[in-house]
Amino acid sequence: MKYNVKFEDIGLKDYKETWDYQAGIFEELKECKTGGKMTEGSGEYRRPGTLILVEHPSVYTLGKSGSGNNLFLDSVQLRAKGAQFYRIDRGGDITYHGPGQIVGYPIFDLEILKIGLKEYVFRLEEALIRTIGEFGLTGSRLQGGTGVWLDPGIKGRARKICAIGVKASRYITMHGFAFNVNTDLRWFDYINPCGFTDKGVTSLERETGLRQDMGEVKTILKDRLRDQFGLEWINEEE
């Protein structure tokens, strides 16, 4: 069975504006489920999901279980650097979003996909692992930490290339992943990324030594997400 999904690449967009936008879609999907709305003639609930890809101006976000001590800048310093900060309702600790990073917000119904949250995160990770594999990199998982890592089992070498933090309610997902492509990694110097004090952060550009074409990377990533979740794009003109 294919899962119908609308794909949106919205370019560079303010974090709060995008958060409000995805939250609106998230609430609409939840309301459709609780209201019992069904696709005509199907006999069961069916509502297309949405996949948003976006880049944000510099912003730090802290998950609901994270510690504010993992951010080393105060509000004055943040403003001086032209960055924002938000406490948000996803899982995970602190991370950075900025230009050159692909942020993905899948707003999916896990009941339609017939998977649980753990499997959902696993498939997100797998899509990213296969994406970076197209560039000659071997991505892995880290026990006790979500996301995609390089050399996670080598002391002093473990570095994260993609962070994942999600929220789900009534099996509807929001938030998602942050994939460092051409990201300015100096922004991570001001935090303990994802709460880790002994692990690094990297990007596709740093690992390959080449500045990447964001459009090409997005196309590969979109295809790998389609493969992992059995997606059917309902707006192929994109």
With a threshold of 0.85, does the pTM exceed it?
yes
Residue 9 has pLDDT above 80, yes or no: yes
Give the whole-number percent of the chain exceeding pLDDT 90: 74
Closest CA to 145 of 198, 107, 99: 198
Label residues 59-78 b or e (16+ Cβ within 10 Å = b): bbbbbeebeeebbeeeeeeb
Average pLDDT over residues 177-196: 89
In a domain, 130, yes or no: yes
In a domain, 207, yes or no: yes
For tokens 């999901």, the residue is: 49
Residue 152 corresponds to which tokens in the numbers above?
């996670």
Q: Supply the CATH number for residue 54's domain.
A: 3.30.930.10
Residue 63 has pLDDT above 90, yes or no: no
Exactly one of 194, 201, 221, 231 is catalytic; which is it?
194
195 — pLDDT class (breaks 50, 70, 90): low
Q: Count the domains in the chain.
A: 1
Average pLDDT, the chain: 91
In a domain, 98, yes or no: yes
β-sheet with 59-62: strand ranges across: 84-87, 59-62, 94-97
Give the HSE-up count for residue 167: Cα atoms under 13 Å, Cβ half-sphere: 17
In a domain, 143, yes or no: yes
- Give the span between the Cα atoms of 199 and 234, in whole angstroms: 40
Q: What local confidence, expressed as pLDDT, does residue 194 receive? A: 66
Question: Is 32 a residue of the active site?
Answer: no
In a domain, 27, yes or no: yes
In a domain, 238, yes or no: no
Average pLDDT over residues 154-183: 94
Give the whole-number percent of the chain exceeding pLDDT 70: 92
Q: What local confidence, expressed as pLDDT, does residue 37 receive? A: 56
The parent domain of residue 137 ranges over: 3-233
CA dist 31 to 47, 169, 173, Å?
11, 11, 14
